[in-house]
């Protein structure tokens, strides 16, 4: 499960993770549940149907990534077919709008269907009795909703005391709470996402859900050493003007090129220094969470397939170093 504050890179990280885990002939399934076709967009593919499709080949070793956009409506029809053999009757319900009604009126039911479908993929075996997927990665709802989303089957198992729905809900909770599952939280080195990560971890722990890694995304390189950082936050106008002048950028006198460059450069350096300071503070908060972290760099050229492979390789390396 890959969760995190909105916009921190959940979809990107989930895709990179699916690629990273698909090495050496392994097969992973990347699923999304928010109906936004984020995976298709990321891989430059056509919108995903409600059907598992091979979407990428993993870097080195021929692993494969499949993708699925889980749709609550279709999942409900699957269930009706599975539990009550309601094949055509299910389609009739759909025509009546009953399926649509059920999946939109009861958001809890939607979540039961979405997690249920993902767990079905986790447990699915082929004819030889081998698991079809080595890993299933979900681009999950954001931190604010993740605990409720994953725990919804607990409520259902309590409501339906016996019968197929009870059993199904219990089976899903068993997978989700097992050590086979891990909820990873993506964050940036900024106050709000870090706070959400801290809150999310607390909630997940309280609910007995397995926490994976904190993945710090879009980490920027730092250009200055300690001395330079201290200098950058101080008042060093005269020194900078002199240095520019020495570098051949004209005289440091009033109105000269060096003089005009000083203020923007000093401002930029100070901004960088304060950003580094802030990031250090957030790192300290993250260290206090007592959860292993991975770090992914901010890719300067924007996100494309090559960038995704780069992030996957980075995840792989850090996992191997652990």
Ligand X SMILES: Nc1ncnc2c1ncn2[C@@H]1O[C@H](COP(=O)(O)OP(=O)(O)OP(=O)(O)O)[C@@H](O)[C@H]1O
Binding residues (CB under 5 A) for Mg ion: these are 10-11, 38
Is 10 one of the binding residues for ligand X (CB under 6 A)?
yes
CA distances from 62 to 18, 107, 120, 184 (A): 13, 39, 25, 25
C-beta closer to ligand X: residue 108 or 307 = 307
User: In the bound complex, which residue of the shown chain has the CB atom lying closest to Mg ion?
Assistant: 11
From the list 5-13, 169-177, 189-197, 264-272, the region that binds ligand X by CB under 6 A is 5-13
Least CB distance to ligand X at residue 200 (A): 13
Contact set for ligand X, span 189-228 (CB under 6 A): 217-218
Burial 163-201 (b: 16+ CB within 10 A, else e): eebeebbebbbebbbeeebebbbbbbbeeebbebbbebb
Is 318 one of the binding residues for ligand X (CB under 6 A)?
no
Out of Mg ion, ligand X, none, what residue 153 binds, judged by CB under 5 to 8 A for its kind, is none
218 CB-contact burial (10 Å; exposed 0-12 / middle 13-18 / buried 19+): middle
For residue 317, give every residue at least 6 positions away whose Cβ sits within 8 Å of its Cβ, in sequence order, or none. Answer: none
Is 184 one of the binding residues for ligand X (CB under 6 A)?
no
Least CB distance to ligand X at residue 192 (A): 13
The residue count for the chain: 322
C-beta closer to ligand X: residue 107 or 144 = 144
CA distances from 290 to 47, 90, 212 (A): 39, 48, 11
Out of ligand X, Mg ion, none, what residue 218 binds, judged by CB under 5 to 8 A for its kind, is ligand X
Is 143 one of the binding residues for ligand X (CB under 6 A)?
no
Where along the sequence are the contacts to ligand X (CB under 6 A)? 4, 6-12, 142, 217-218, 296, 298-299, 303, 311
């Amino acid at each position: 499960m890959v969760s995190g504050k909105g916009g921190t890179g959940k979809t990107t990280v989930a895709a990179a993770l699916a690629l990273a885990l698909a090495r050496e002939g392994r097969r992973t399934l990347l699923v999304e549940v928010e109906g936004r076709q984020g995976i298709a967009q990321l891989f430059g593919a056509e919108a995903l149907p409600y059907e598992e499709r091979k979407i990428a080949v993993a870097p080195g070793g021929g692993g494969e990534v499949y993708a699925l956009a889980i749709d609550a409506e279709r999942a409900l029809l699957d269930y009706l077919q599975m539990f009550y053999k309601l094949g055509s009757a299910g389609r009739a319900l759909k025509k009546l709008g009953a399926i649509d009604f059920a999946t939109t009126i009861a958001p809890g039911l939607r979540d039961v269907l979405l997690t249920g479908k993902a767990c079905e993929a986790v447990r699915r075996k082929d004819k030889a009795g081998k698991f079809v997927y080595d890993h299933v990665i979900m681009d999950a709802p954001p931190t604010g909703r993740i605990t409720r989303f994953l725990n919804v089957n607990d409520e259902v198992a309590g409501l339906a005391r016996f019968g197929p729905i009870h059993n199904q809900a219990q089976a899903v909770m068993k997978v989700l709470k097992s050590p086979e599952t891990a909820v990873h939280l993506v964050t940036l080195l900024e106050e709000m996402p870090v706070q959400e990560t801290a809150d999310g971890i607390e909630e997940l722990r309280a609910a007995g859900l397995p926490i994976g890694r904190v993945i710090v995304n879009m980490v920027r390189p730092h250009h200055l050493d300690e001395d330079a950082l201290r200098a950058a936050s101080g008042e060093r106008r005269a020194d900078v003007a002199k240095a520019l002048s020495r570098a051949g950028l004209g005289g440091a006198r009033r109105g000269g090129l060096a003089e005009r460059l000083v203020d923007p450069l000093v401002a930029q350096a100070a901004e960088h220094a304060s950003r580094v300071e802030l990031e250090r503070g957030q790192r300290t908060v993250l260290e206090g969470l007592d959860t292993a972290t991975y770090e992914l760099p901010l890719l300067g050229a924007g996100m494309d397939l090559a960038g995704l492979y780069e992030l996957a390789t980075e995840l792989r390396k850090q996992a191997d170093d652990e």
